[in-house]
Amino acid sequence: MDITSIGIVGAGQMGNGIAHVCALAGYDVTLTDVNSDALEEAVKIIGTNLDRQVSREKIAQNDRDAAMQRIRTTSALIDLGPSDLIIEAATEREDVKHAIFAELLPALKPETILTSNTSSISITRLASRTDRPEKFMGFHFMNPVPVMQLVELIRGIATDEPTYDACRSVVDRLEKTAATAEDFPAFIVNRILMPMINEAVYTLYEGVGTVTSIDTSLKLGANHPMGPLELADFIGLDTCLAIMNVLHDGLADTKYRPCPLLTKYVEAGWLGRKTQRGFYDYRGEGDPVPTR
Ligand SMILES: CC(=O)CC(=O)SCCNC(=O)CCNC(=O)[C@H](O)C(C)(C)COP(=O)(O)OP(=O)(O)OC[C@H]1O[C@@H](n2cnc3c(N)ncnc32)[C@H](O)[C@@H]1OP(=O)(O)O
Ligand SMILES: NC(=O)C1=CN([C@@H]2O[C@H](COP(=O)(O)OP(=O)(O)OC[C@H]3O[C@@H](n4cnc5c(N)ncnc54)[C@H](OP(=O)(O)O)[C@@H]3O)[C@@H](O)[C@H]2O)C=CC1
């Protein structure tokens, strides 16, 4: 199937990044969110990130302008009806994703491919609640989307080859690299990355190190671009906790037990950068201040 238009559900940090790269690659993009402020904010962020790429001579000004022209926003989910490919990038909660698909399905063309950017949730289970499990895939971008090269492609048990091939062609057109993962909890990247982040939170919880010493250790001692707690704030602590819960429930192994301190931060609404406070406090003018 020739994909020319892409509908994106959720205009948070992932949704805006996905809209950015898809529009830049020439796809017509429709972006939707339940929150109309999030849509306005997403368009601003996309404009700023494209400007940055222009100023660093990564893209030309007219490519930037053409990409912005290709992005349409709407708060009505059914406006995604004509899209050839849907990428769902709403909050990492299975009930939210099921509800989105239930509302969206009656508006879709029969041939439309349905995908989720979920970090961890079973693709087979999400697909089973739709009318097209053979046309359903995991399409997992990494954050920040305009910078990170990888897209994980995850087949559900029923996904057919034409669907996989069509998604792979989209990854090629975005000039990203695909890695194929089997449909087990959290796939590849988060199966490995998230227990490391959770262990960093345990290291903090048990008083082995402070926020600063833990992040400095991994940045300078293991050459990670961000420390694990800084990265957790960047991803979103709610998303990190949701992924740990999927690993814990899905693999039934205590080694995936979410750290109680991670739970406490989420309960406080300290979700990281997106709420201005997590393991660091971002509300001041200067450098972020560690909260422990
Ligand atoms: C949770 C999941 O399901 C899966 C995941 O995504 S896990 C998270 C995966 N992501 C990571 O691990 C990110 C780790 N961090 C990094 O790689 C780096 O810190 C970073 C790329 C985010 C920032 O790098 P940095 O060197 O500290 O900052 P900075 O110099 O501002 O940015 C590097 C480049 O990226 C660009 N950039 C950064 N954010 C950008 C954005 N949102 N849009 C466009 N460009 C961006 C910058 O313009 C800069 O470009 P040049 O190389 O041309 O100068
Ligand atoms: N953060 C990361 O590093 C990565 C995240 N992901 C995955 O991408 C998805 C999105 O994550 P992320 O962008 O970080 O999350 P955000 O919290 O930044 O954004 C999620 C957006 O979805 C909106 N939303 C919630 N419910 C609905 C709905 N029913 N219909 C439409 N929009 C809705 C939210 O609105 P409101 O705020 O009003 O609730 C919010 O604007 C998740 O599945 C996550 O696991 C994948 C790779 C990396």
Specify whether 176 is located in the same domain as 205: no
Q: What ligand has the least distance to the C-alpha of 38?
A: 2
d(CA 219, CA 238): 23
Residue 42 counted as an annotated binding residue: no
Structure tokens at 145: 């989307």
Residues 213/143, Cβ–Cβ less than 8 Å: no
For 290: left if phi > 0, alpha if psi spans -120 to 50, otherwise beta; the answer is beta
By CB neighbour count within 10 A (0-12 exposed, 13-18 middle, 19+ buried), where does 215 fall?
buried
Q: Choose one of 21, 88, 91, 233 to mutate for the ligand 2 pocket test, by most ligand atoms within 8 angstroms of C-beta.
A: 91
Specify whether 12 is located in the same domain as 131: yes
Domain housing 280: 190-290
92 CA distance to ligand 2 middle (Å): 6
Which of 148, 182, 216 finishes a domain? 182
Residue 57 counted as an annotated binding residue: no
Residue 117 annotated to the active site: no
Specify whether 224 is located in the same domain as 94: no
Give the domain CATH number at 39: 3.40.50.720
Per-residue pLDDT of the chain (292 residues; tens, 9 = 90+): 789 999 999 999 999 999 999 999 999 999 999 999 999 999 999 999 999 999 999 999 999 999 999 999 999 999 999 999 999 999 999 999 999 999 999 999 999 999 999 999 999 999 999 999 999 999 999 999 999 999 999 999 999 999 999 999 999 999 999 999 999 999 999 999 999 999 999 999 999 999 999 999 999 999 999 999 999 999 999 999 999 999 999 999 999 999 999 999 999 999 999 999 999 999 999 999 999 9
Specify whether 129 is located in the same domain as 74: yes
Look at the chain and report how many structural domains it folds into: 2
Residue 132: per-residue pLDDT = 98
Residue 92 counted as an annotated binding residue: yes
289 CA distance to ligand 1 middle (Å): 20
d(CA 231, CA 279): 10
Q: What are phi and psi of 141, to 5 degrees?
A: -80, 160
Residue 119 annotated to the active site: yes
Which of 162, 182, 202 finishes a domain? 182
Q: Choose one of 8, 9, 14 to mutate for the ligand 2 pocket test, by most ligand atoms within 8 angstroms of C-beta.
A: 14
Residue 16 annotated to the active site: no
Residue 107: per-residue pLDDT = 97
Which of 182, 214, 230 finishes a domain? 182
Specify whether 69 is located in the same domain as 142: yes
Specify whether 175 is located in the same domain as 195: no
Residue 75: per-residue pLDDT = 96
Give the domain CATH number at 227: 1.10.1040.10
By CB neighbour count within 10 A (0-12 exposed, 13-18 middle, 19+ buried), where does 207 fall?
exposed
Specify whether 169 is located in the same domain as 213: no
Specify whether 37 is located in the same domain as 140: yes
Q: Which of 120, 152, 198, 230 is catalytic?
A: 152
267 CA distance to ligand 2 middle (Å): 18
Specify whether 207 is located in the same domain as 270: yes
Specify whether 167 is located in the same domain as 38: yes
Q: Choose one of 147, 188, 197 to mutate for the ligand 1 pocket test, by most ligand atoms within 8 angstroms of C-beta.
A: 147
Specify whether 146 is located in the same domain as 285: no
d(CA 65, CA 58): 14
Q: Which of 20, 116, 122, 140 is catalytic?
A: 140
Specify whether 145 is located in the same domain as 228: no
Residue 190 annotated to the active site: yes
Residue 1: per-residue pLDDT = 75
Q: What ligand has the least distance to the C-alpha of 115?
A: 2
